[in-house]
Structure 1
Amino acid sequence: MSLGPSSLESLRVFDACARHGSYTRAAEELGISPAAVSQRMRHLQADIGAPLFDRRGPRIALTDSGKELAGKVGQALTILGTAVQSCRDCDTIRVSAAPTFASRWLAPRLASFAGSRTHRITIDAASDLRAPGSFDVAIRSGLGRWKGFQATLLFPIEATPLYNPQLYRPAPLAAPRDLVDCARLPSDAWPAWFEAAGVDVPGDAIGGSGVRYPTQDLAGAAVLEGAGIALLSPRLFADALGAGRLVRPFETMLHGPAGYWVLISDHDRRPSVLAFRAWLVEASRKTGL
């Protein structure tokens, strides 16, 4: 197989397909059409002489050959991305962070890192982990297992009921059971929270009702406007709690098992990246609950 520019681009497309398990999502990441992705993959499989994917409805699954190639291509792209970045402005640190973490925790603290250094920092608020080589540091929620990356735990994901007492005024909340009759934003974590609080709640009332928000940031914005009570992280909404715009009626709080992790490539040893990771870890310890 000749590794000309066209073949190298096909391998980049293949890497995106392998990570997403979808031609459509790979196309969205790369900014090309699904048809172009499909054509690239047909040509690549023809060049290799072996199938790389099995079709499973709208999803695709890697064959054994595809898994072997995906591992090697992912490593190669990471090494290439690190090499290219080392030739760029070394004072720039590209940070990709989950949207809620970026807006609620990272953004208010970045000045304390940038103010004492010459590094320029760019932020990409994204829910999905970007392609290897497109960032220097990523902050993601999960269990700490990302192939090809060193993962360092910042803090566990936490959740407890919070609401705005000025705009949403429920009847006096004397015990966790009183939350059953409140306007609670939907969350899959309500059953676990009620169980932790020792409350037996009927199944048809346990999950909350109304609009389901995809991130804590959006749910928190709705709660601040009086939408009701939501399970949120008091660490991420510490400013609103401190100002009295949110209150925490009960001490019961869910911890983990997932957490927020800082990821850097296994191959990255740049002092600026390591310094930023160390700052993130230290800042997370200073904001412990």
Structure 2
Amino acid sequence: MSKALPPLNWFRAFEAAARHLSFTAAAEEIGMTQSAVSQQIKSLEVRLGVPLFERKPRSLALTDHGRRLLPQVDAALETLSAATGAFFTDQPARLLTVSASVSVLQWVIAPLLPRFRAEHPDLSLRFISAIWPDEFSRTLADIEIRFGSRKQAAPKAVPLGSNKLIALKPKNVAVPFEEMPLIDAIGISGGWPAWGKATGSPVQSPSIFVDSYGAALDLAVQGNGACLVNELLSRHPLQHGLIARVSDVLIDAKEGYFLSCNSDTEDARTFTGWLTGVAAGKTA
């Protein structure tokens, strides 16, 4: 088995010192102490079994071994730099990352986002969609909009909208509600049985199952049946005639949407304030 390669930092220290012919200048460039650079180069020399520098009282000089190694190390570092550079595209100066429930992103943020963008044209937004609370732990976002119970929400999160559920049906469909397929969002407490009890209306068993309120609403808008979703999601499609109410009855749910701001910046506060206003019905 071949010997393990020396650590990359040793080669970085060697290349910088060889270019500057100074351990001190190399240390300043790569953010290390002069003694650390000297020690790493000494370790590389021990590993290779040859001296790489002639250490003079006031200067450094490359040995023949150092001159032979330098072009190869320089080329290798350039290759690594080019390979990793492809993953780092130019980032805008003002970028806000929002990790959001896909349902809120689709039915609350997206319809009103053009107005926000018009008012804040210099702010770039990156949205990361998720459904279940555990998915948010995989990302680091400035703002999070989670769906779940109060217990599942982030410690400092605040409710976004209400946890009321509304029953909706396709617009301009001749089939009576009692005969419509029911769409059920799995993993949600209560659901159609609770709605039937609250309204005194018998309901059939759901025949279409989805993993989010947003998907249920989308299917209902497309004429696939009636859905029971968080009231916050219903506002835009109701206002624009995309869907119709089954009744005026709203029922409580244990789950809802929660907003948390993880970044103490003006941009994060601006977006949070805007979205809070949207949820409160202050932005049409």
TM superposition score category, shorter chain reference:
0.5 to 0.7
**Residues 125, 193 of structure 1: CA spacing in aligned structure 2 closer, same or farther, 3 A cutoff?**
same
> Deviations along 1:83-130, whole A, 9 cap, x unmatched?
xxxxx8661100011111101001122233332222211111112443
Contact 1:92 1:121 in 2 (8 A): yes
CA distance in 1 between counterparts of 2:194 and 2:276 reads: 28
User: Which of residues 130, 154, 157 in structure 2 aligns to 1:126?
Assistant: 130
C-alpha deviation, 1:248, in angstroms: 0.8
CA distance in 1 between counterparts of 2:154 and 2:170 reads: 42
- Residue number in structure 1 paired with 2:79: none
CA distance in 2 between counterparts of 1:90 and 1:151 reads: 27
Partner secondary structure for residue 162 of structure 1 = strand
- Residue number in structure 1 paired with 2:200: 198
CA distance in 2 between counterparts of 1:119 and 1:288 reads: 19
**Residues 164, 281 of structure 1: CA spacing in aligned structure 2 closer, same or farther, 3 A cutoff?**
same
Contact 1:234 1:241 in 2 (8 A): no
Partner secondary structure for residue 116 of structure 2 = helix
- Residue number in structure 2 paired with 1:228: 225
Residue 157 (structure 2) pairs with residue 151 (structure 1): yes
Residue 242 (structure 2) pairs with residue 245 (structure 1): yes
- Residue number in structure 2 paired with 1:273: 268
Partner secondary structure for residue 156 of structure 1 = coil
> Could you tell me the percent identity over the aligned residues?
19
In structure 1, runs of 5+ residues without a counterpart are: 6-87, 174-178
CA distance in 2 between counterparts of 1:152 and 1:196 reads: 27
- Residue number in structure 2 paired with 1:282: 277
Partner secondary structure for residue 97 of structure 2 = strand
Which residue type is aligned with residue 131 of structure 2?
S
Pick the structure with greater CA Rg.
2
CA distance in 2 between counterparts of 1:143 and 1:98 reads: 13
Partner secondary structure for residue 113 of structure 2 = helix
- Residue number in structure 1 paired with 2:112: 109
Which residue type is aligned with residue 235 of structure 2?
A
**Residues 270, 213 of structure 1: CA spacing in aligned structure 2 closer, same or farther, 3 A cutoff?**
same
> Deviations along 1:189-213, whole A, 9 cap, x unmatched?
01111111134x4xxxx56232211
- Residue number in structure 1 paired with 2:183: 185
In structure 2, runs of 5+ residues without a counterpart are: 1-6, 8-90
Contact 1:96 1:125 in 2 (8 A): yes
TM-score, length-scaled by structure 1: 0.56
Contact 1:185 1:208 in 2 (8 A): no
Which residue type is aligned with residue 183 of structure 2?
L
Residue 97 (structure 2) pairs with residue 94 (structure 1): yes
**Residues 104, 196 of structure 1: CA spacing in aligned structure 2 closer, same or farther, 3 A cutoff?**
same
Which residue type is aligned with residue 108 of structure 1?
P
